[in-house]
Chains A and B, each alone.
Chain A
């Protein structure tokens, strides 16, 4: 029943993310009921679906914020296990942007961006700051470098969070409803930042309800329901001719 997976991968090219038979239980609640997902390098995937369908849980499994119960997750060919060192190493290669930003309020914007560079990449302070400034320029917020997160607007905070993740030079970026906590007038600036990131060829998996973004950027849209991938395909196909009635009614709700 699952639509043919569209993939831009060249033969022999290793997938950025390879998920096989992923299952997860919260106690007796079966959140993920067997997810197979392959994301090739440079691919932009948008994940959508009703709340409680397991979208967030799925991408949180990819960097080990949630422990999966069954199945295999490969990030750039490295298997995600329970070993703390390996989880930390994978996380350093996978950037994540959260709904509520999760910036460190006691550190300046610049310190937020340089913390992991200093601790994990062991960069000198000046080098780390130069790198952080470059990414703050990229998200067009360099003038706020010495402010604290709570002194910024929501949209600005989310752009800082994106810059903070980019500083580590991730191979993949995960977005967990990055605009859901924002005031409407701030959604645009964050989406623009994400679009420019996509144009640079970043591999992205975005859980979002922003259908305009999905239409513009996504190579593939995944529709999840009840802990499973119900349907997936290129944006136009998913919007115009979804196979499942469930998918159709969801997109109708989202776009009207």
Chain B
């Protein structure tokens, strides 16, 4: 039946741990990059230039509409077919997954931040402008900190969603958690033990993120509790 000993050795074994590290690194790299890019694209989404708004909207439509699996395959298999430069060894599954998931994540995070910017009242901007603050100051010191507070729960949602989406990178042979377990199952035929071990990893990572979320919310809510 369920070999508890095998389960424990899978959980505490080196291969899954290594896979988890790759999952975490990929996730962190994608989330940080897409957050930085989206700070700008979310502003551009409300630009006074109509073609800029359309451009951002088209991007969001494209990458929210395309299944992650398809984007991964486009980048991993399609790019080398188009450009010979991607046929080199440096174009690793990790890099391909990083590019593909970032393209998708930017679309989602742009939407989250766009609504958060909008939720910071016009009065805040005017209060800052009336003091003579430059546009850049108004954004970085007044709008952004308040927008991040509003966006935190949604951003963590997107991060958790991303964490699980990385499992799709198994199709482009990235040795993340799913790939490691599939390889182990291929030789041992012990499905349940390995799946459960992988489940423990994902749930633990999400638990850690949830704790981080509440800490971040605490930091941002300074000044909002009476």
Q: A224 to B60, alpha carbons, bound, how many Å?
A: 48
Of B30-38, B95-103, B130-138, the segment with at least 4 beta carbons within 8 Å of chain A is: B130-138
The answer to whether A92 has its CB under 8 Å from any CB of chain B is yes
Q: Is the CB of B130 within 8 A of A105?
A: no
CB distance from A73 to the nearest CB of B (A): 15
Among A116, A149, A161, which residue has the most Cβ atoms of chain B within 10 A? A116
Q: Among the listed stretches B70-78, B104-112, B140-148, B186-194, which one makes contact with chain A, having 4 or more residues with CB under 8 Å of it?
A: B140-148
Q: A98-B127, A115-B141 are in contact. Are A106 and B132 (CB under 8 A)?
A: no
Q: Which of B126, B133, B134, B141 contacts A98 (CB 8 A)?
A: B126
CB contact between B129 and one of A65, A105, A106 (< 8 Å): that residue:
A65
Q: Find out whether the CB atom of B223 lies under 8 angstroms from the CB atom of A108.
A: yes
Residues of A in contact, count (CB < 8 Å): 34
Please report the number of residue pairs spanning A and B whose Cβ atoms sit closer than 8 angstroms: 79
- How distant is A88 from chain B, measured CB to nearest CB, in Å? 5
What residues of A have a CB within 8 angstroms of the CB of B142 in the complex?
Answer: 104
> CB distance A88 to B132 under 8 Å?
yes
Complex Cα–Cα for A107 and B128 (A): 12
How many positions in chain B have a CB within 8 Å of any CB in the partner chain? 23
A105 engages B226 (CB within 8 Å): no
Q: Known contacts being A100-B123, A102-B123, A104-B124, is A91 close to B129, with CB within 8 Å? A: yes
Contact residues, A192-218 vs B (CB, 8 A):
none
A107–B223 CB distance below 8 A = yes
Q: Is the CB of B133 within 8 A of A120?
A: yes
- Interfacial residues of chain A within 77-110, with CB under 8 A of chain B in the complex: 84, 88-96, 98, 100-108
Name B141's closest neighbour in chain A (CB-CB). Answer: A115
The yes or no answer to B5 lying at the interface (CB within 8 A) is no
A102 touches which of B127, B132, B141 (Cβ 8 Å): B127
Residues of A52-94 whose CB lies within 8 A of B: 63, 65, 84, 88-94
Could you tell me the distance between the alpha carbons of A115 and B137 in the complex, rounded to whole angstroms? 10
Within 8 A of B (CB), among A115-150: 115-116, 119-120, 148-150
A120 to B134, CA, bound (A): 8
The CA-CA distance from A150 to B226 in the complex, in Å, is: 7
By the criterion CB–CB under 8 Å, are B222 and A106 in contact? yes
Partner of B131, one of A92, A105, A150, A151: A92
Mostly helix, strand, loop or mixed at chain B's interface? helix
**Is B202's CB within 8 Å of the partner chain A?**
no
Shortest Cβ gap from B82 to chain A (Å): 43
Task: Find A150's partner among B128, B145, B223 (CB 8 Å cutoff).
Answer: B223
Chain A contacts of B123 at CB under 8 A? Answer: 98, 100, 102
User: Is A165 at the interface (CB under 8 A from chain B)?
Assistant: yes
Q: Are A88 and B134 in contact (CB under 8 A)?
A: yes
In the complex, whether A171 has a CB less than 8 A from a CB of chain B is no
Q: Which B residues lie within 8 Å of A92 (CB)?
A: 131-132
The residues of A that contact B135 with a CB separation of less than 8 Å are 84
| A106-B137 contact given A91-B131, A96-B130, A148-B222, CB 8 Å threshold | no
Which residues of B have CB within 8 Å of A148?
222-224
CB distance from A167 to the nearest CB of B (A): 9
Instruction: Decide: B131 and A106 in contact? CB cutoff 8 A.
Output: no
CB distance from A178 to the nearest CB of B (A): 13
19 contacts between A and B (CB under 8 A): A84-B135, A88-B132, A88-B133, A88-B134, A91-B130, A98-B130, A102-B126, A104-B128, A104-B142, A104-B146, A105-B223, A106-B149, A107-B223, A115-B131, A119-B133, A150-B224, A150-B226, A165-B131, A168-B132
The chain B residues found within 8 Å of chain A, CB to CB, are 123-124, 126-135, 137, 141-142, 145-146, 149, 220, 222-224, 226
Known: A105-B223, A106-B220, A161-B127. 13 other contacts (CB 8 A): A63-B130, A65-B130, A84-B135, A102-B126, A102-B130, A104-B124, A106-B145, A119-B134, A120-B133, A148-B222, A148-B223, A150-B226, A168-B131
Q: What are the 9 A-B residue pairs with the smallest beta carbon separation, nearest first? A: A92-B132, A102-B127, A148-B223, A116-B131, A96-B130, A91-B132, A102-B123, A106-B145, A88-B132
